[in-house]
Amino acid sequence: MQAVESSPMNRPVKSIVVLTGAGISAESGIATFRASDGLWENHRIEDVATPEGFARNPQLVHHFYNQRRQQLLQDHIRPNAAHMALARLEHEFPGEVLLVTQNVDNLHERAGSRKMLHMHGELLKMRCQESNLVFDLREDIGFDSVCRCCQTIGNLRPHIVWFGEMPFHMPQITRALESCDLFMSIGTSGNVYPASGFYQIARSRHAHTVELNLEQTASSFEEHICGPASEIVPEFVERVLCSVQSP
């Protein structure tokens, strides 16, 4: 682990917001989005993660998310030490902790996190485009699947926020950012708005802002801790919990 820049948390912490991205799940075996070739699991992001891509070729998009879902359900895909540490933070920290994830996997829940929001949706859910009702899902869906609520073919879509769509839970997330004392950003490249601007909201309200990532991104956090999430997140959580216990 290499601490690129360090500054002590010299103010009392009562409320924490944690933002996670694909990097926290990388060591669990789930590929991140922005590999150097600009492809995501051999597909162009425009083809599989936009409403236009879905309108053009729904079968391709269903197939893509069916594959991601089946991957997530494989036995060897499990929460890692970073997911576990955040669940520990939620349970042991005496103040407020809100976990906001951009990830569509369920590894935080499986690690034990309960107070969390999936701002970009969930792989294990589908949505009826007619009624907006959301259903749990473990099996594959296709363009010809019959919707459970309207009994119609062609109305189901993955419950995923695509580029050009509004992320979920924004009012609640913004309120938490405006009142937190500590903002932690973990395993995200900071390329996607609005999550990329969260640290600025927190900072404008005088929260301490920390990035924990494999590499330092372009965003100006007060503190950058570089290394694999499974190592640096448990260490940082320990530091936060010790700081509230010490007089």
Catalytic residues: 120
For residue 19, give the nearest of 182, 234, 162 by alpha carbon.
Answer: 182
Q: Is 192 in the site for ligand APR (CB under 6 A)?
A: yes
Q: How far is the CB of 165 from ligand APR (least distance, A)?
A: 10
Site for ligand APR (CB under 6 A): which residue of 113, 188, 209, 219? 188
Read off the tokens for 53: 């891509």
For residue 212, give the nearest of 191, 243, 236 by alpha carbon.
Answer: 236
Q: How far is the CB of 203 from ligand APR (least distance, A)?
A: 19
Q: How far is the CB of 24 from ligand APR (least distance, A)?
A: 7
Name which of 27 and 96 has its Cβ closer to ligand APR.
Answer: 27
**What type of residue is 31?**
A
Q: Is 53 in the site for ligand APR (CB under 6 A)?
A: no
Could you give the C-alpha distances from 187 to 24, 94, 116, 180, 203, in angstroms and in order? 5, 25, 16, 20, 19
Q: How far is the CB of 169 from ligand APR (least distance, A)?
A: 14
Q: Is 80 in the site for ligand APR (CB under 6 A)?
A: no
Cβ-based neighbours of 161, under 8 Å, separated by 6 or more: 119, 120, 121, 167, 168
Q: Is 191 in the site for ligand APR (CB under 6 A)?
A: yes
Read off the tokens for 235: 């260490």
- How many Cα neighbours within 13 Å face the side chain of 139? 3
Name which of 150 and 226 has its Cβ closer to ligand APR.
Answer: 226
Distance CA 126, CA 145 (A): 11
Site for ligand APR (CB under 6 A): which residue of 158, 213, 219, 223? 213
Contact between 99 and 183 under an 8 Å Cβ cutoff? The reply is no
Distance CA 105, CA 92 (A): 24
Compute and round to an integer the Cα radius of gyration of the chain. Answer: 19
Range in contact with ligand APR (rule: CB under 6 A) among 18-26, 63-71, 128-136, 168-176:
18-26
Residue matched to tokens 């009012």:
171
Cβ-based neighbours of 76, under 8 Å, separated by 6 or more: 29
x-or-dash pattern for ligand APR, window 88-127, by CB under 6 A? --------------x-----------------x-------
Q: Is 72 in the site for ligand APR (CB under 6 A)?
A: no
Name which of 44 and 206 has its Cβ closer to ligand APR.
Answer: 44
Q: Is 214 in the site for ligand APR (CB under 6 A)?
A: yes
Q: Is 79 in the site for ligand APR (CB under 6 A)?
A: no
* Interacting residue ranges for ligand APR, rule: CB under 6 A: 21-23, 26-27, 32-34, 45, 49, 102, 120, 187-189, 191-192, 213-215, 217, 228-229
